[in-house]
Homo-oligomer: A and B are copies of this chain.
Amino acid sequence: MIRVTIWNEFRHEKKREDVKAVYPDGIHAALARGLAADDLQIRTVTLDDPGQGLTDEVLDSTDVLIWWAHAAHKEVTDENVSRIVAKVQTGMGLIVLHSGHYSKLFKAVCGTSCSLKWRESGERERVWCIEPFHPIAQGVPETFVVPQTEMYGERFDIPGDARVIFMSWYEGGEVFRSGITLERGYGKIFYFSPGHETFPIYYQPEVLKVIGNGIRWAAPLCRGVISAPKVENLEPFRNQK
C-alpha cells in the first residue's frame, strides 16, 4: 500500500467561479477520486490546513507527495520547503504538477530557475511519450491530445539529469519537455505539466494514468538518512608520513 498525500494550494477553487466550475471540490479532490486504486492510500491536505498541511505527522506517513500550486508559492514557508526537500532526499517520492514548476519546492530540488514560456490560450496540446519502456509510460498511448491547455514552452530551465519521458507539441508553435524525472538522493521526482485550474485536464484518463504510474514509480524502494559521518580507516595506513 502506497501512502499518497495530495497537497493543493486550494485558493483558486474558492475564489474564482471559472475554476470552481471545473473543480468544485478542489483539484485535490478531483485527483483523489481520479487516482483511487486498491494499492493507494490517498489523503489530501491544503495550504490553509494547520502547519500548511505539512506537519511531521503528515510527512512522516507519506510515501509519495503530490504538489499542486500556482498563485501562493511565496506563502509556503522556507522551513516547510526545507523539511519536504529533506524528506525527498531520504526517500519520499514527489510528483509536481503543472504550475508547481515554479514552486520554491521544485526549484529547490532542481537547483535551477525552472522558468519557461507560457500562454493561457486554451489551445491544443499533443503529448508524445518518448520513453515507452519506462514504468511511467506503461499503458499510456504513444501520443494523446489535451484539447484545451495552457501552453508551457521551452526553454524550460531544468537540470541536465532531467530524464525526458514526455514531450509536448502546441498548436501555437512551441514544444516542451512536459514529463521529466529526477532523482535526489533516495528520492524520485516526477514533473508533469499537463493540467490547469480552468481546463478539465485532471479528468482526462491518459493524464490520470500518467500520474498514477508516476506515483508507483516514485514510491520508495528504501529510505536513507542524511549524515556526514566521521569514519575510521578500513585499510591500514602505511604511506602516511
Bound form: Cα–Cα A131–B241 in Å: 30
Q: How many residues of A contact B (CB 8 A)?
A: 80
Q: How far is the CB of A193 from chain B (nearest CB, A)?
A: 13
Bound form: Cα–Cα A118–B229 in Å: 6
Partner of A235, one of B85, B172, B185: B172
State which residues 93-112 of A face B: CB under 8 Å: 102, 108-112
Bound form: Cα–Cα A155–B102 in Å: 28
- Known contacts A117-B231, A169-B175, A230-B119, A133 near B91 by CB under 8 Å: yes
State which residues 208-222 of A face B: CB under 8 Å: 220-222
- Point out residues on A near B: beta carbons under 8 Å: 78, 85-86, 89, 91, 102, 108-113, 115-124, 126, 128-133, 135, 138, 142-143, 147-148, 151, 153-157, 159-161, 163-164, 167-175, 182-186, 220-222, 224, 226-241
